[in-house]
Amino acid sequence: MRVVLRNLSKTFNERRSALEALAPISLDIAPGEFVAFVGPSGCGKSTLLRLIADQLVPSTGEIWLDSQSPTVQRAHKAIGWMAQNPALLPWATVLDNVRLPLHVNRQHNRAAPTPEALLALTGLTEFATTYPGTLSGGMQQRVALARTLATGARLWLMDEPFAALDELTREALTDEVLRLWQEVGATVLWVTHNITEAIRLANRLVVMSSRPGEIRAVFPVPLPYARDATSPEVIALVRDVRKALAA
C-alpha cells in the first residue's frame, strides 16, 4: 500500500489552550516499504500513526492510502495496528484471539493466512488452546502480532510494540517481524525510540523534532539484511541519526 501525507498536522484544542502535537509534514511511502520513525517523547510519532489509522481527524492536510482515505481503508480492514499493550481477551484462547478480527467486519474477498497458519508462522501452534494470562509478555506480543496479520492487512502500523520487553525477547520478535514482512510484502510504519532497532529493520528512517513534531531528517538504509548492529556502517548511521536528533 502506498502512503501519501500532504501538509498533515494535528492540534489538540483544550479548554483554555491549543496543543500543537504535529506540525505540517509531507511524506511519500512506497508500497512494501518499511519506514521507521524516531524522535523524542511527545514529538507526535504516535499521533501520526493514529491519524493514518483513522483514529484521529487531521487539523490540516491530507492522507491517502492507495488513493483512498484512511476511513475507507479502515472499513476494508486494510490497516493493521499493534502497540505496546497486546490488548488480548483474557477469557479467549490464543487461537480465538487471533481469530477475532475475522469475526468483526470480515472481508471475504481478501486472501489472508488462516489463524492456524499464523500461529505456525509466529511459533504459537502448541499454545493454540492456552489463555493469554499464562503466557509471558513476549509470547503475548506474538499473539498480538498474529492477530494483526489475520485480516491480510496491507499496511502495518506498529507503535513501539516491543518497548516493554527485555532486550533478548525484543530482538527475537523484531527478527520475527522482519521475516514476516519479507514474506508478506506489506507496508510497515514503525515507531521506536531505539535507533539501532530502527536501522536493523527499516528501508528508511525518519527523524522527528520535538513538539510540535516535524520531519527533521530522512535517512535511507541501503544495507542488506540481516544487519549487524556492530558493523561500521550501522555504527556510522547511528551516529548520524543521533546528530540529527540533537540538532
Do residues 210 and 40 make contact, with C-beta atoms less than 8 angstroms apart? Answer: yes
Q: Summarize the confidence of residues 1-20 as an average pLDDT.
A: 91
Q: Residue 105 above 60 pLDDT?
A: no
- Tell me: do 115 and 181 sit in the same domain: no
Model pLDDT, residue 111: 62
Q: Residue 107 above 80 pLDDT?
A: no
Residue 218 counted as domain residue: yes
Q: Summarize the confidence of residues 67-75 as an average pLDDT.
A: 94
What is the domain extent for residue 146? 88-151
Residue 219 counted as domain residue: yes
Among positive and negative, which fits the CA dihedral 103, 107, 109, 115? negative
Last residue of a domain, one of 123, 151, 179: 151
Place of cell 539484511: 225
Give SS3 for 104: coil
- Between residues 202 and 174, the one the model is more confident about: 202
- Tell me: do 162 and 40 sit in the same domain: yes
Residue 99 counted as domain residue: yes
Residue 83 counted as domain residue: no
- Tell me: do 97 and 179 sit in the same domain: no
- Between residues 166 and 58, the one the model is more confident about: 58
Q: What band does 207 get if pLDDT is binned at 50, 70 and 90?
A: very high
pLDDT tens track for 123-180 = 899 999 999 999 999 999 999 999 988 878 899 999 998 888 888 888 888 888 998 8
d(CA 64, CA 185): 19
Residue 163 counted as domain residue: yes
Residue 194 counted as domain residue: yes
Q: What total of structural domains would you count in the chain?
A: 2
- CA angle 167–171–174, rounded 5-degree value: 135
For residue 39, give the nearest of 156, 159, 167 by alpha carbon: 159
- Tell me: do 12 and 127 sit in the same domain: no
- Tell me: do 67 and 174 sit in the same domain: yes
Q: Summarize the confidence of residues 89-115 as an average pLDDT.
A: 79
- Tell me: do 225 and 140 sit in the same domain: no
Distances (CA, A) of 243 to 14, 216, 246: 34, 11, 5
Give SS3 for 230: coil
CA dihedral 9, 191, 156, 214 (to 10 degrees): 20
Model pLDDT, residue 84: 86
Percent with pLDDT over 90 in the chain: 70
Residue 210 counted as domain residue: yes
Last residue of a domain, one of 136, 151, 166: 151
- Tell me: do 202 and 216 sit in the same domain: yes
Q: What band does 204 get if pLDDT is binned at 50, 70 and 90?
A: very high
- Tell me: do 167 and 142 sit in the same domain: no
- Tell me: do 164 and 237 sit in the same domain: yes
Q: Residue 14 above 80 pLDDT?
A: no
Last residue of a domain, one of 105, 128, 151: 151
- Tell me: do 170 and 230 sit in the same domain: yes
pTM for the structure as a whole: 0.91
- Tell me: do 11 and 67 sit in the same domain: yes
CATH of the domain at 174: 3.40.50.300
Long-range pairs of 64-71 with CB within 8 A, sequence gap ≥ 24: 64/2, 64/3, 64/4, 64/6, 65/1, 65/2, 65/3, 65/4, 65/155, 66/1, 66/2, 66/31, 66/154, 67/2
pLDDT tens track for 42-54 = 999 999 999 999 9
- Tell me: do 181 and 234 sit in the same domain: yes
Across-strand partners of 208? Answer: 215
Residue 182 counted as domain residue: yes
